[in-house]
């Protein structure tokens, strides 16, 4: 609350008390004027408070609407990010399967080469044994 809105009613009340102490027809008129001024000051203060409250409500409503708009704008981005994450996970799964398959193929190829080499060594050993028998 501003100091002016506090001091104005206080000044009006002080003037009213000073005028109450006066006597005579001018004092009566002054009292009536002071009372009217006090009423006007009170009404102005109430109007100022009402206006401030309305402004606050409007600002709160605008902030709420802005928050709702921002949330609406963020949701599609979150959805796209979730979709991209799911697609990346699926791609990673496929890549892992492919890598495992390639690793299995490489292992099979290596085992086949070892078997071929073992067969060659066995064949050579057999030929050497046959040669030694003669």
Instruction: Please give the chain's pLDDT, 134 residues, in tens.
Output: 455 556 666 666 666 566 555 566 776 777 777 778 777 878 888 888 888 889 899 999 999 999 888 888 888 888 888 888 888 888 888 888 888 888 878 787 777 888 888 888 888 888 887 777 76
pLDDT value for 108:
76
What is the reported pLDDT for 60? 92
pLDDT of residue 22: 57
Per-residue pLDDT at 62:
92
SS (H, E, C) 9-73: HHHHHHHHHHHHHCCCHHHHHHHHHHHHHHHHHHHHHHHHHHHHHHHHHHHHHHHHHHHHHHHHH
Question: What is 80-134 written as a DSSP string?
Answer: HHHHHHHHHHHHHHHHHHHHHHHHHHHHHHHHHHHHHHHHHHHHHHHHHHHHHH-
Number of domains in the chain: 1
Distance CA 60, CA 64 (A): 6
């Amino acid at each position: 609350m501003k100091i002016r809105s506090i001091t104005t009613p206080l000044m009006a009340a002080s003037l009213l008390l000073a005028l109450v102490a006066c006597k005579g027809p001018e004092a009566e008129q002054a009292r009536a004027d002071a009372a009217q001024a006090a009423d006007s000051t009170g009404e102005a203060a109430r109007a100022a408070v009402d206006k401030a409250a309305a402004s606050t409500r409007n600002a709160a409503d605008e902030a709420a609407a802005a928050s709702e708009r921002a949330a609406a704008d963020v949701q599609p981005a979150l959805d796209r990010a979730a979709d991209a994450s799911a697609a990346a996970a699926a791609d990673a799964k496929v890549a892992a399967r492919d890598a495992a398959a390639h690793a299995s193929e490489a292992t099979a190829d290596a085992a086949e080469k070892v078997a071929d080499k073992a067969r060659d060594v066995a064949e050579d050993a057999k030929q050497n044994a046959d040669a030694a028998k003669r």
